[in-house]
Structure 1
Amino acid sequence: MSLLELDDLSVTYTIEAGEVPAVRGVSLTLEAGAALGIAGESGSGKSTLAMALLRLLPRGARVGGRILLDGEDVLTMKWGRLRAVRWAQASIVFQGAQHGLNPVHRIGDQIAEPLLTHGLAGPEAARGRVAELLRQVGLPDWRARSYPHELSGGQRQRVMIAMALACSPRLIVADEPTTALDVMVQAQVLTLIKRLVAERGISLVMISHDLSVLADVCDRLAVMYAGRVVEHGPSREVYHAAAHPYSRALAAAFPTVGDPASRLAPKGLGGDPPDPMRLPGGCAFHPRCPVALEECSTLDVEPRPAGEGREAACVHVREKEQEAS
């Protein structure tokens, strides 16, 4: 049994202007001890998906489908059961640690809170556990007495990781954990996440717009566009030999280290993601797609096999299948 299974997951926000379909029919699985990356531009639905995993969405959100965590549907859990699952079985590292930490409480108290809430340790044992967690994420024990504003951005992000690890969960959801950090600190935090996940056998769902980061950290990669998964497969293959034109555009948008040509002439993606309330007919990517066909404006292709363990929702993948047969 998979540790996490998303079955036809949909999320719709209700606003004054109407309904906004943020996530549309996403089905993914994550095995125990594996890492899944979810990529896409801003507005693709990836962070909404991350928040849905632990029912952290605002009241105006309507969620459909199923989210199975160890075979139990998160969407149908009673509040008491959901409260027991958060932090203890699955935890989250939020984007922007400055906003995820309480500015008037010391770091040590905030790391200890989930331990005390779930009854996993008394006050004295919790203090010892906090010191251990701080050392594991590369911070000295005395930082437990610090307030968030007394730490750098990278240090605050390490604190968020320590909080996520406090109750030894089986799953960690990391929503763009390095976006606000400089390149050097980003590399340190990513190395830390990789090491801790490997050492503890934790499953990881990591959200990012950067395919190169996800390819380095995750086993598998799902690329989202306009609320749907347009490609899914082994992360290295999706990054280096994408089957969907949107995945190729995302991968090409980042310069290659040591390659002056890619740095001086990056291959960006023209245009903007579509308004989710006014999605184009057919494939939502076709107005920006450099290889779109006439039928792409009317035909929304379901994900098709695009190699071993890979799927892509593109008419060109379908054409290759027909040629092979």
Structure 2
Amino acid sequence: MSLLEVRELEVAYPGGAAAVRGVDLSLAAGEKLGIAGESGCGKSTLALALLRLLPAGTRTGGRILLDGEDVLTMKWGRVRAVRWAGASIVFQGAMHSLNAVHRVGDQIAEPILLHHKATPAGARKRTGELLEQVGLPAARADAYPHELSGGQRQRVMIAMALACDPRLIVADEPTTALDVMIQAQILRLIEELVSEQETGLIMISHDLAVLADTCDRLAVMYAGRIVEEGPARQVYDDARHPYGRALSEAFPRIGDPASRFAPHGLPGDPPDPAAVPSGCAFHPRCPVALDVCATRDQPLRAAGPERRAACVHVEGAGFGGTPAAGAGARAPDAEARSSTP
């Protein structure tokens, strides 16, 4: 049985905006899954839904099975028990997540006291061990968040996420505000801790290169749906969906001068969740869309070994096979070759 099974997940905010539309995911213990996409594609909403952290009034459907239990139908007491102990989350922007008037050690110790019923002395000892595990001296437990650097605060957030030995960690843009060197250290730390403890990891980012280096599998989201999924490095190097290809090509690659001086990308923005286009939601921005894309949505289908993509150009879709083929194909927009997502 998988550690996490998400089936036909639907999330709609008050007012009817559908932020997540029929998402299917699975994650094994010790596996690392990356979720990529532009802002507004539903990544963070999906992360919040996994632990029922969505605002009041949000409507959800489908199933989220964590170790066989449906998170969406759990009683609140059970949900509180699952958070931290069963699954935890590392938010982006640690300064906004940490309490500015409490020492970081007290904040790490709080879930230990609550879930493990530890003594104050035992919680302090465990807090020191966690800080050292993430590369900080145990003495930093007495610091307030403003006394730590951005990288140190993010390490504290990771220590908090590990406090109760969860089976699943969700990391939502954990390195967004950090410089490149600190980002690399944090990503390496997360990868090592997850591998050592056989913890399942879902990492969310707009940066496919980061996810390709860190994760085993990669899922690309657009307009609340997963449009491509497969082994992370394969999706990054050879995306089968035009949107995944655009995300990958938006980042210059070391040793490839062409990508440095002529990065590819896409014009425009993801659609408003309250007004998703008919057919394939990506078709208004797609440089290889066919006429049928405006009227018929595409399901995820096999696009190679362990790969899936929701595109008419995937072999077996019945619409011509390659992005350049098929009557009614639109010419790539020149702007798509000069703008970035």
TM-score normalised over the length of structure 2: 0.92
| Contact preservation (8 Å) 1:108, 1:145 | yes
Match of 1:231, SS state, is strand
1:105 maps to what in 2? 102
1:315 maps to what in 2? 312
Structure-2 separation of matches of 1:135 and 1:206? 23
Structure-1 separation of matches of 2:147 and 2:276? 45
Report the CA distance between 1:323 and its aligned residue.
7.2
| Contact preservation (8 Å) 1:304, 1:318 | no
| Contact preservation (8 Å) 2:312, 2:319 | no
| Contact preservation (8 Å) 2:313, 2:319 | no
| Contact preservation (8 Å) 1:241, 1:248 | yes
Match of 2:13, SS state, is strand
Q: CA RMSD in A?
A: 1.3
Q: Would you identify which runs of 4 or more consecutive aligned residues in structure 1 move more than 3 Å?
A: 318-324
Structure-2 separation of matches of 1:322 and 1:275? 28
Report the CA distance between 1:175 and its aligned residue.
0.4
Structure-2 separation of matches of 1:261 and 1:237? 20
| Contact preservation (8 Å) 1:120, 1:167 | no
Structure-2 separation of matches of 1:295 and 1:322? 9
Range that drifts further, 115-124 or 88-97: 115-124
Match of 1:278, SS state, is coil
Which amino acid letter does the alignment assign opposite residue 7 of structure 2?
D
Q: Aligned ranges for residues 84-123 of structure 1 at < 5 Å?
A: 84-123=81-120
Which residue among 199, 203, 206 is the counterpart of 1:202? 199
Report the CA distance between 1:318 and its aligned residue.
4.6
Structure-2 separation of matches of 1:251 and 1:212? 7
2:184 maps to what in 1? 187
Report the CA distance between 1:278 and its aligned residue.
1.4
Which amino acid letter does the alignment assign opposite residue 3 of structure 1?
L
Query: Residue by residue, what CA displacement relative to the aligned partner does 1:29-59 show, whole Å, maximum 9, x if unpaired?
Result: 1011101111100000010000000000000
TM-score normalised over the length of structure 1: 0.96
Structure 2 unaligned spans of 5+: 322-341
Match of 2:243, SS state, is helix
2:161 maps to what in 1? 164
Which amino acid letter does the alignment assign opposite residue 9 of structure 1?
L
Answering whether residue 254 of structure 2 is matched by residue 257 of structure 1, we say yes
Match of 2:283, SS state, is coil
Which amino acid letter does the alignment assign opposite residue 81 of structure 1?
R
Structure-1 separation of matches of 2:94 and 2:254? 28
Report the CA distance between 1:267 and its aligned residue.
1.0
Structure 1 unaligned spans of 5+: none
Structure-2 separation of matches of 1:267 and 1:120? 53
Which residue among 128, 133, 151 is the counterpart of 2:130? 133
Structure-1 separation of matches of 2:39 and 2:275? 16
